[in-house]
Amino acid sequence: MTDERSSATRSDEHLPAADAAETDSVDAADGNEHENPNTDSDTDADAPASTSADGESRSPLPLETFHDACQQTGRPVLTAGEVARTLDHHPSHDAVSDRLDALTERGDLERLAVSADPVVWYPSELEDLTDRERVVVFPKRREIVVDRPDQFTRAQLAQFAHLADGNGEEGYRYVVRPEDVWQAPHDSFDALARTMRQALGQRSAELEDWVQSQWDRAHQFRLTTHEEGYTVLEAKSPEVMGNVARQKLDEEHVHAPISDTEDWVREGSEAAIKRILYEAGYPVQDERELDSGEQLSVDLEVSLREYQQTWIDRFAEAGEGVFVGPPGSGKTVAAMGAMAHVEGETLVLVPSRDLARQWAETLAEFTSLAPHQIGQYHGGQKNVRPVTIATYQIAGMDRHRSLFDDREWGLVIFDECQHVPSDVYRRSTHLQSRHRLGLSASPIREDDRQTEIFTLVGPPIGTDWQALFDDGFVAEPELEIRYVPWGDDEQQNAYASAEGRERYRIAAQNRGKIDEIRYLLAAEPNSKALIFVDYLDQGGELATALDVPFLSGETPHHERRRLLDEFRRDERDLLIVSRVGDEGIDLPTADLAIVASGLGGSRRQGTQRAGRTMRPAGGALVYVLATRGTREEDFARRQLQHLGRKGMTVREETIDRDGAESDQE
Asked if 484 contacts 625 with a C-beta cutoff of 8 angstroms, the reply is yes
Chain mean pLDDT for the chain: 78
Task: Please indicate, yes or no, if residue 7 is contained in any of the structural domains.
Answer: no
Helix (H) or strand (E) holding 575: strand 574-577
pLDDT at residue number 480: 86
Split at pLDDT 50, 70, 90, the class of 600 is very low
pLDDT at residue number 263: 96
Residue 450 pLDDT > 70: no
Asked if 455 contacts 626 with a C-beta cutoff of 8 angstroms, the reply is no
Q: Which of 609, 417, 444 is nearest to 532 (CA)?
A: 609
Asked if 373 contacts 340 with a C-beta cutoff of 8 angstroms, the reply is no
pLDDT at residue number 368: 96
- Whichever domain contains 538, its CATH number is 3.40.50.300
Split at pLDDT 50, 70, 90, the class of 298 is very high
pLDDT at residue number 574: 93
Residue 365 pLDDT > 90: yes
pLDDT at residue number 297: 92
**Lowest-confidence range among 27-36, 273-282, 285-294?**
27-36
pLDDT at residue number 300: 94
pLDDT digits (tens, 9 = 90+) for 484-509: 999 989 999 999 999 888 988 899 99
C-alpha distance from residue 130 to each of 13, 239, 580, 631 (Å): 9, 52, 46, 40
Chain center to CA of 651: 21
Task: Please indicate, yes or no, if residue 95 is contained in any of the structural domains.
Answer: yes
Task: Please indicate, yes or no, if residue 295 is contained in any of the structural domains.
Answer: no
pLDDT at residue number 513: 95
pLDDT at residue number 375: 94
Residue 641 pLDDT > 90: no
pLDDT at residue number 369: 96
One domain for residues 179 and 196: yes
pLDDT at residue number 615: 46
- Torsion sign (Cα): 527, 533, 536, 538: negative
How confident is the model over 145-167, as a mean pLDDT?
A: 80
pLDDT at residue number 288: 84
Task: Please indicate, yes or no, if residue 6 is contained in any of the structural domains.
Answer: no
pLDDT at residue number 413: 93
One domain for residues 123 and 147: no
pLDDT digits (tens, 9 = 90+) for 81-128: 888 888 877 788 888 888 888 888 888 888 876 544 567 777 776 545
One domain for residues 213 and 235: no
Q: What percent of the chain shows pLDDT beyond 90?
A: 31
Q: Which of 86, 107, 130 delimits the end of a domain?
A: 130
Task: Please indicate, yes or no, if residue 298 is contained in any of the structural domains.
Answer: no
pLDDT at residue number 561: 82
C-alpha distance from residue 112 to each of 75, 80, 104 (Å): 15, 12, 10
Split at pLDDT 50, 70, 90, the class of 611 is very low
Split at pLDDT 50, 70, 90, the class of 131 is low
User: 658 or 288: which carries more pLDDT confidence?
Assistant: 288
User: What is the biggest distance separating any 2 CA atoms in the chain, rounded to whole angstroms?
Assistant: 91
One domain for residues 370 and 415: yes
pLDDT at residue number 642: 59
One domain for residues 124 and 100: yes
Task: Please indicate, yes or no, if residue 73 is contained in any of the structural domains.
Answer: yes
Q: Which residues make beta-bridge pairs with 144?
A: 137, 174
Residue 233 pLDDT > 90: yes
Asked if 67 contacts 100 with a C-beta cutoff of 8 angstroms, the reply is no
User: 511 or 428: which carries more pLDDT confidence?
Assistant: 511
Q: Which of 138, 166, 142 is nearest to 154 (CA)?
A: 166
β-pairing, 143-147 vs 172-175, is: antiparallel
Helix (H) or strand (E) holding 436: strand 435-440
pLDDT digits (tens, 9 = 90+) for 13-26: 333 333 333 333 33
pLDDT digits (tens, 9 = 90+) for 460-482: 888 766 666 666 666 566 788 89
pLDDT digits (tens, 9 = 90+) for 260-274: 999 999 988 888 898
Asked if 437 contacts 371 with a C-beta cutoff of 8 angstroms, the reply is no
Structural domain tally of the chain? 5
pLDDT at residue number 92: 85
DSSP for residue 61 = P
pLDDT digits (tens, 9 = 90+) for 346-359: 999 998 888 899 89
One domain for residues 142 and 241: no
Residue 154 pLDDT > 90: no
One domain for residues 386 and 525: no
Asked if 348 contacts 359 with a C-beta cutoff of 8 angstroms, the reply is yes
Q: Which of 469, 504, 532 delimits the end of a domain?
A: 469
One domain for residues 330 and 379: yes
One domain for residues 158 and 34: no
Asked if 568 contacts 589 with a C-beta cutoff of 8 angstroms, the reply is yes
pLDDT at residue number 169: 53
**Lowest-confidence range among 37-46, 497-506, 602-611?**
37-46
Q: Where are the beta strands (DSSP E) in 208-326?
A: 221-225, 231-235, 254-259, 262-265, 284-286, 320-324
Q: Would you tell me how many other CB atoms lie within 10 Å of the CB of residue 653?
A: 15
Residue 604 pLDDT > 50: no
One domain for residues 63 and 171: no
- DSSP 3-state assignment of 164? strand
The order of strands in the sheet holding 162-166 is: 134-138, 143-147, 172-175, 162-166
Angle at alpha carbon of residue 264, lines to 262 and 269, rounded to 5°: 120
Distance (Å, whole) CA 136 – CA 115? 37
Its pTM stands at 0.57
pLDDT digits (tens, 9 = 90+) for 533-579: 988 899 999 999 999 999 887 888 788 888 888 988 889 999 998 86
Burial of 305 (0-12, 13-18, 19+ CB in 10 A): middle
C-alpha distance from residue 366 to each of 303, 335, 344, 396, 568 (Å): 10, 12, 17, 29, 18
Asked if 173 contacts 143 with a C-beta cutoff of 8 angstroms, the reply is yes
User: 42 or 587: which carries more pLDDT confidence?
Assistant: 587
pLDDT at residue number 244: 95
- Whichever domain contains 33, its CATH number is 1.10.10.10
Amino acid at 52: S
pLDDT at residue number 665: 47
Q: Which of 130, 165, 200 delimits the end of a domain?
A: 130
One domain for residues 55 and 153: no
Instruction: Note down the domain range covering 66.
Output: 17-130
Distance (Å, whole) CA 108 – CA 101? 10
**Lowest-confidence range among 218-222, 313-317, 432-436?**
432-436
C-alpha distance from residue 642 to each of 205, 291, 504, 645 (Å): 32, 40, 21, 5
User: Residue 437: what are its φ and ψ, rounded to 5°?
Assistant: -140, 130
Residue 617 pLDDT > 60: no
Task: Please indicate, yes or no, if residue 296 is contained in any of the structural domains.
Answer: no
Q: Which of 164, 143, 159 is nearest to 196 (CA)?
A: 159
Task: Please indicate, yes or no, if residue 293 is contained in any of the structural domains.
Answer: no
Query: Can you give the three-state secondary structure of 107-152, one letter per residue?
Result: CCEEEEECCCCCEEEEECCCCHHHHCCEEEEECCCCEEEEECCCHH
User: 116 or 70: which carries more pLDDT confidence?
Assistant: 70
One domain for residues 175 and 258: no
pLDDT digits (tens, 9 = 90+) for 377-399: 988 788 889 999 998 888 767 67
**Lowest-confidence range among 118-127, 194-203, 366-375?**
118-127
